[in-house]
Amino acid sequence: MSSDPVGKHFDNVAPGYDRWKEKARHYYAALKASLAEIVPPRNHVLEVGCATGDILASLDPADGVGIDISPAMIQIAARKHPDLRFLVHDLMDGPIDERFDYVVAADVAEHVPDLDVCVQAMAGMLTDNGVLVIVTANPAWGPVLHLAERLHLKMPEGDHRWRSRGDLLGAAIRAGLHERSFTRSLLVPKDLVGVGILDRASWASGIRQRFGLIQRAVFETGRGPRGSPSGSVYPDPT
């Protein structure tokens, strides 16, 4: 059992975590697809806040490592995915002693007490041409997500703070990283007939970029073979 408040919360959530994911399967499918757009299969990949390991496994790494502050989550992940490596680790204590081509953190940044420390630690685990992918919820969805939680329609998140693009970009710059892209996606987090077109149609791309639930920020250490010149796909800093 973790002694950290965040770790304690997710230790308590762990037994029912996969059931919550199944209820939100449309969201998690979109989240996995968003990460797969950046992380090719058969790479050396670290997932921060890996929970029960399904997102890491979906990326088909040649060597995959998951870390989480919750021992209960790590126990479940190791049992479900014996071909991957899982460690109990708190990034507030610094990085682990290993370097990765890709470091991904999905729905993690809102839970850390110090975003700068977290991003600095993640940057410290990248190879020279490594890529960091941070996925968070669009803060504009905050009231909707809080209501869904109160109505027991989504997993309880515990204490958290929604992170804006500016929050993520500032922490990344201070960690010595460059922004490759920032995008938003998923306007409809449920599989609703007749409405899902908003998440596929090209004419709705501007609406998705402004109001999409999933925020994906991609950062890199340099301009290596996988990189592109720093700068955002969408210059609007909101």
Q: How many CA atoms lie within 13 A of 119 on its CB side?
A: 28
pLDDT reading at 51 higher than 60: yes
Tell me if 213 sits within 8 A of 106, measured CB to CB: no
Q: List Cβ neighbours of 106 (8 Å cut-off, separation of 6 or more).
A: 31, 35, 47, 49, 55, 135
Q: What is the pLDDT of residue 149?
A: 81
d(C-alpha 187, C-alpha 195), whole Å:
9
Q: List Cβ neighbours of 70 (8 Å cut-off, separation of 6 or more).
A: 2, 7, 10, 11, 14, 51, 88
Chain-wide mean pLDDT for the chain?
89
d(C-alpha 48, C-alpha 56), whole Å:
9
Q: The domain 5-220 is classified under which CATH number: 3.10.50.40, 3.20.20.70, 3.30.110.30, 3.40.50.150? A: 3.40.50.150
pLDDT reading at 192 higher than 50: yes
Q: What is the pLDDT of residue 235?
A: 40
Domain extents in the chain: 5-220
Q: What is the pLDDT of residue 7?
A: 79
pTM for the whole thing? 0.89
Percent of the chain with pLDDT over 70: 90
Q: What is the pLDDT of residue 237?
A: 41
Q: What is the pLDDT of residue 144?
A: 85
- Return the amino acid letter for 93: D
pLDDT reading at 9 higher than 80: yes
Look at the alpha carbons of 53, 20, 118, 132 in this order and tell me if their dihedral is positive or negative: positive
More reliable by pLDDT, 141 or 236: 141
Mean pLDDT, rounded, for 179-208 = 86
Can you list the positions of beta strands (E) in the chain? 44-48, 63-68, 85-88, 100-106, 126-137, 178-185, 214-220
Tell me if 126 sits within 8 A of 100, measured CB to CB: yes
